[in-house]
Amino acid sequence: MLDGKRILLIVGGGIAAYKALELVRQLRERGAAVRVVLTEGGSHFVTPLSFAVLSGEKAFTDLFDLKDEAEIGHIQLSREADLVVVAPATANLLAKMANGLANDLASTVLMATDKSVLVAPAMNVRMWEHPATSRNIAVLRADGVRFVGPEEGDMACGEFGPGRMSEPSEIIDAIERVLPSAHGVSLKGRHVLITSGPTHEPIDPVRYIANRSSGKQGHALALAAKDLGARVTLISGPTHLPDIPGVTTVKVETAADMLDAALAALPADVAICAAAVADWRVAHQAEEKLKKAEGQTALNLALSRNPDILATLAAPSASRPTLVIGFAAETETIITHAQAKLSRKGADWIVANDVSPGTGIMGGGHTEVHLVSGTGVEDWPAMGKDEMATKLLARAAEALHAMQLAAE
């Protein structure tokens, strides 16, 4: 159910715009309030009046309608939504979103929003397969935009292939996945602290020790926590990922800085340690760039143990987060290692996954995890990292809720 959820639907200029009418009808049937913004192209395919009748609210089309702007500005339009859905999202609209163009109401609202955005692309197969579209999609995915479809099939232009907009029921399923609070779980009023990415441990002013963590999992967790209504602090080692609007991102380099930032961000209700923290740092960091000597054939670097952020956060203290969650990337005897890690570090849950070469999990978009806690092990099916993040945060919300009830 989507009771009480507010959806801002942006309708682009494609023949699939007619399906957006049915989408509005089905959304309202599930209890959502829908407000519609049409691009100029969109209003050539379906009239704003049709959307106004089905949504029960005025449908907006023109950025420069001063009367509309006085009644409800473009910033307010996106602020009042729980989720922004773009359906159909044309190649042009995706290109504008990827490049930050804001020259009409629809694109301005998309630039001004800090809410999650779900897009349902619809276009000719050649346009979908064009390298420019692929580039734009990659940029938008990195920005945290969610996608549903397109589907493969016969197209209005007589061609066959991917490019057909997903059916309204599939778009609604995707909306419910993005808005898990649609199922009644929420992290409103909670603070979620997430560590993410690699750490860089300096050797000298220009060199460092690092690892290949991309930070994608931590970003997905931050986005999922934000979607559930939490205040989110993401403490991130160096990554190439863009900041997430609405998430406080603290950028750090070393494990020691990450620990300081994590402690400074307390109190938190949930702490999730997804960072690939370097276990070791260089014991004596050189103040000047190290020079090799004539004939030198080896260099020994003495290393010191880094603090364990997960274990520090999980240690009993007045500021211990209610739920402390760690990750374990293993290549053999996964569950046994994860259970040992759970008790060694004092965490409440460990999300364990098999990162053996061949699973494609390390650096890939999918994952297959086991949720290990003091009460048992749950095997989750293979799923996207985004979906896993949503499921984990929903579980965290449920656990906090249950603990609160038990304490009352």
Q: Which residues bind ligand CTP (CB under 6 A)?
A: 195, 255, 273-275, 277, 279, 306, 308-310, 326-329, 341
State the sign of the Cα–Cα–Cα–Cα dihedral 260, 363, 330, 328.
positive
Q: How far is the CB of 236 from ligand CTP (least distance, A)?
A: 12
Output the smallest distance, CB 402 to ligand CTP, in A.
23
- CA 71 from centroid of its chain's CA atoms: 32
Listing DSSP states for 211-274 in one string gives: ----SHHHHHHHHHHHHTT-EEEEEE-S-SPPPPTTSEEEE--SHHHHHHHHHHH---SEEEE-
Tokens 């100029």 sit at which residue?
Answer: 40
24 vs 273 by CB, closer to ligand CTP? 273
Q: Which is nearer to ligand CTP, 181 or 195 (by Cβ)?
A: 195
For ligand CTP, give the closer residue by CB, 55 or 195: 195
394: Cβ contacts below 8 Å, ≥ 6 apart: 180, 183, 185, 228
Nearer Cβ to ligand CTP (195/339): 195
Is position 273 annotated as part of the catalytic site?
no
Token pair 């109190």 is found at 267
Complex with ligand CTP: residue 21 or 277, whichever CB lies closer:
277
Half-sphere exposure of 177 (CA within 13 A, CB side): 16
Q: Encode burial over 30-45: b for 16+ CB neighbours within 10 A, e otherwise.
A: eebbbbbbbbebbbeb
Contact 280, 201 (CB under 8 A): yes
The CB-of-245 to ligand CTP minimum distance in angstroms stands at: 25
Strand, helix or coil at 281?
A: strand
Residue 331 or 404 with smaller CB distance to ligand CTP = 331
Which entry of 53, 138, 157, 263 is annotated as an active-site residue?
Answer: 157
Cβ atoms of 143 and 171 closer than 8 Å? no
**Active site (catalytic) residues:** 157
